Amino acid sequence: MSAGSGLHWVRLSAPPTVIAGKAIAMYHLLTRLVDVPVGPRLSAATDLYLQILRPLEPWVSGARQWVVIPDGALDYIPFAALRTADRDPAFVALKHDVALTPAAWRLEAASLPEHPERALLLVADPVYQPDDPRLGSTPGGHKGEAIAVRLSDPVRRDYRRLPYTAQEAAGIAAQFPAADVDRLTGTDATRERLLALDWSRYRFIHIATHGVVDPQVPELSALILGSYDARGELLDGAVRVADLSMRTLGAEVAVFSGCETALGKEVPSEGLVGIGSVVLARGARAVVASLWPVADEMGARLMTDFYRHLLHDSMSAQTALGASMRAVVSADRSADPALWAAYQVSVVAFGPGLPMHTAESANVSTTGPREKQ
């Protein structure tokens, strides 16, 4: 753990297996918004804070911004949602802006390159269903039937429309000059259209769609774009990790506002390998992704605020996401973290606004959560 003036090693009192168990339990609680009340989540957030952050307080409590290098089960924990055990409990998000980095060796100090020529690539609200009114009265010919047989299981799932992603896209696009936004929505939000673009041209990339993660074979993880084009033809909508690995990026921030886009395969000393890590490796300075499915309405609110802070307040991605979370938590200090804490920022470089304060948990040997119950 580096705290500005030196390097400090702190041995945590609980054994790694205990910490891993608590992290797994908290993650599962966060994914069960519908059938588990908020109380157990708040208790788990406090319990884990006491285990892994309380011992670090002498060195990190004064640093507004943290960069955390998690390991094992801690890869699945939103550190911003951990909660103090004080008389007046407070989420970490109220006092600190938290970013992650996949490995210490990948983190470097560097200034941002010149801005790419286009401001924003915005992808949202694809067409997933044959009865979507945007297809008109005559959806889909029979040509798609042969394609469906060849598609992998994630593509053949019954994906439903994400109506709030249209609202999210509109709120984000309104903050940019119209001429600086390339937008793929509705029947234009297809794999073919997206992969035909030169991603290196964009300062910001925002993709608000369904996503799937394969924790055993990360190459099969994918962003799920439209299942139908404007003619109603059935499409392969999966933009897989293999596709992303062929892109070159110069983006300050790439946002994947889909379900569980922050997850992937656990690789020792590399973190979770999947959509976000590949995009970082291909040149993005920061990636915003989610640890569990995000409620549409809350996702739209958080992301609109996020871009407002990025653009108008000149904040880093880490600080902008922290400010967006604080707007929710400040109104209700017991706000359910299952609603607002799914998004996290991962970085590989210290740009403007990112300090040289890191808290490393890599010396805690843990294992990741098992399949959801």
Residues 6 or more apart whose Cβ sits within 8 Å of residue 64: 95, 96, 97, 355
How much is the average pLDDT of 300-309?
92
Residues 6 or more apart whose Cβ sits within 8 Å of residue 83: 42, 45, 46, 49, 89, 90, 91, 92
How much is the average pLDDT of 297-322?
91
Residues 6 or more apart whose Cβ sits within 8 Å of residue 171: 300, 303, 304, 307
- 268: which DSSP letter? T
Which run of H or E residues covers position 305?
helix 296-312
Contact 163, 299 (CB under 8 A): no
Looking at per-residue pLDDT, the higher value among 145 and 201 belongs to: 201
- Using DSSP, state whether 290 is helix, strand or coil: strand
- Using DSSP, state whether 328 is helix, strand or coil: helix
Per-residue pLDDT tens over the stretch 158-217 = 788 988 889 899 999 999 999 999 999 999 999 999 999 999 999 999 999 998 888 888
The pTM of the full predicted model, rounded to 2 decimals, is 0.86
Nearest Cα to 237, choosing from 176, 165, 286, 188?
Answer: 188
Looking at per-residue pLDDT, the higher value among 148 and 231 belongs to: 231
**pLDDT value, residue 11:** 87
Strand residue runs (E) in the chain: 2-3, 65-69, 97-100, 108-109, 118-126, 181-186, 202-208, 210-212, 222-224, 238-240, 253-256, 265-267, 271-273, 286-290, 343-347, 349-350, 357-360
Per-residue pLDDT tens over the stretch 260-293 = 888 887 776 667 778 998 999 899 999 999 999 8
Ordered by where they begin, the domains of the chain are: 2-111+348-360 (no CATH), 118-312 (3.40.50)
- Within 13 Å and on the Cβ side, how many CA atoms surround 285? 24
pLDDT exceeds 50 at position 147: no
Tokens, residue 293: 């499915």
**pLDDT value, residue 1:** 52
**pLDDT value, residue 150:** 38
Find the angle CA(262)-CA(311)-CA(122) to the nearest 5 degrees.
55
Looking at per-residue pLDDT, the higher value among 146 and 51 belongs to: 51
Query: How many whole angstroms separate alpha carbon 28 and alpha carbon 12?
Result: 23
**pLDDT value, residue 146:** 38
Q: Edge-to-edge strands of the sheet including 253-256?
A: 2-3, 357-360, 65-69, 97-100, 343-347, 286-290, 253-256, 202-208, 118-126, 181-186
Computed over its alpha carbons, how large is the radius of gyration of the chain? 20
- Any idea which of 110-124, 148-162, 253-267 has the lowest mean pLDDT? 148-162
Per-residue pLDDT tens over the stretch 27-79 = 999 999 989 999 999 999 999 999 999 999 998 988 999 999 888 899 999 99
How much is the average pLDDT of 143-148?
42
Tokens, residue 187: 């029947």
Per-residue pLDDT tens over the stretch 326-373 = 999 988 777 899 999 999 999 987 654 443 334 443 333 333 343 333
Looking at per-residue pLDDT, the higher value among 362 and 81 belongs to: 81
**pLDDT value, residue 109:** 56
**pLDDT value, residue 117:** 72
**pLDDT value, residue 300:** 84
- Using DSSP, state whether 166 is helix, strand or coil: helix
